[in-house]
Amino acid sequence: MAFPGLDRIEALARNLDGWQRELAARMSEIEETSAVGVSDSGLVRVTAAADGGILSSELDARAMRLDSYTLAEEFTTAARRAQEAAAAQVRELVGEVIGTPGGGPTGPRGHDDH
């Protein structure tokens, strides 16, 4: 007796093996991914790694004229944008491997909570 959907399960298993091999081969590319985020004023630039860690920040000398609250907001905005851009690059790389735009079967974040 044949089980319905068994062929689909076997095909999925083959795809998973291929995806795993391809991801392993591209891990160094993913690990080296970084992105820059810039504050609204353009006075603060932050570079984030694929894992979201902050790699560097640059501060334009004119930023020293800002009050501490505004400067903190500028850093936060630039860092968030850098982290979001790095995550988007990782999703794109993973999406290339598994053949879906945005890196997941259900959307850019790989889940449906929106």
Please give the domain boundaries of the chain with CATH numbers for all domains.
30-97 (3.30.1310.10)
pLDDT at res. 107: 42
Distance CA 44, CA 59 (A): 5
pLDDT at 95: 81
Whole-number pLDDT of residue 1: 54
CA-to-CA dists, residue 43 to 66, 71, 111, angstroms: 10, 9, 35
Residue in 23, 17, 6, 13 with CA at minimum distance from that of residue 96 = 23
Which tens digits make up the pLDDT trace of 40-80? Answer: 999 999 999 999 999 999 999 999 999 999 999 999 999 99
pTM given for the model: 0.68
Give the residue, 113 or 78, on which the prediction is more confident: 78
